[in-house]
């Protein structure tokens, strides 16, 4: 199957000044590809939360977007502390965010939960002290 688009966006940990930059760029690309409104919304939320997770918790990471005829694929990988208990991290409201992160309105413990809600396929794997990987697929034809 031919891929319409593929690009990797590096994200720097703890750089809140540029938070959302990759997400905004990805949304613009998808808009140019005339992706359906609801798919665009789900992708924007999933990518934004992934980007903020890297910035909030990891040293660095990459978000890779690839779009084919049927799906939007987002692969996220970071180098960082990883997640000890993935089931716990997936629970809405659970967060290990610092006070600094919370004061900015982040760290509400909704990130991974929101990503999963917006995904047609969501896989997460993590190795403590190494990093975390997410595989997100959103179907282009909606539900």
Partner 1 sequence: MKLRHLVERLDLGVLCGEDKLGNEVSGGYVGDLLSDVMANSSKGNIWITRQSHQNIVAVASLREHAAIILALGKKPDDDTIEKATREGIPVLATDRPGFEIAGQIYALLSNDRSFRAGTES
Cβ at position 21, least distance to partner 1 in Å: 7
CB count within 10 Å of CB 82 equals 18
E strand segments, the chain: 3-12, 60-68, 71-79, 121-127, 131-139
Residues 52-111 that bind partner 1 (CB under 8 A): 52, 104-106, 108, 110-111
**Number of residues lying near partner 1 (CB under 8 A):** 23
Cα–Cα distances (Å) from 82 to 30, 36, 91, in that order, read 29, 33, 16
Residues 140, 70 contacting (CB under 8 angstroms)? yes
Cβ at position 99, least distance to partner 1 in Å: 15
Give CA–CA dist 65/138, Å, rounded: 11
Among 11, 19, 74, 89, binds partner 1 (CB under 8 A): 19
Residues 20-49 that bind partner 1 (CB under 8 A): 20-21, 23-24, 27, 37, 41, 44-45, 48-49
Retrieve residue 127's tokens: 């190795």
Nearer to partner 1, 40 or 83 (CB): 40
Nearer to partner 1, 74 or 129 (CB): 74
Give the footprint of partner 1 on this chain (CB under 8 A): 16-17, 19-21, 23-24, 27, 37, 41, 44-45, 48-49, 52, 104-106, 108, 110-111, 114, 117
């Amino acid at each position: 199957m031919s891929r319409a688009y593929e690009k990797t966006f590096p994200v720097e940990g703890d750089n809140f000044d540029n938070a959302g930059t990759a997400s905004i760029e990805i949304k613009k690309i998808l808009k140019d590809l005339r992706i359906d409104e609801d798919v665009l919304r789900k992708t924007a939320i999933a990518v934004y939360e992934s980007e903020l997770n890297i910035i909030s918790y990891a040293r660095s990471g990459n978000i890779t977007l690839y779009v084919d005829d049927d799906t939007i694929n987002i692969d996220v990988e970071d180098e960082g502390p990883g997640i000890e208990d993935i089931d716990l991290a997936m629970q809405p409201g659970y967060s290990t965010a610092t006070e600094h992160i919370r004061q900015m309105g982040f760290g509400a413990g909704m990130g991974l939960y929101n990503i999963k809600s917006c995904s047609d396929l969501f896989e997460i794997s993590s190795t403590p002290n190494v990093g975390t990987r997410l595989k997100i697929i959103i179907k282009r034809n909606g539900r």
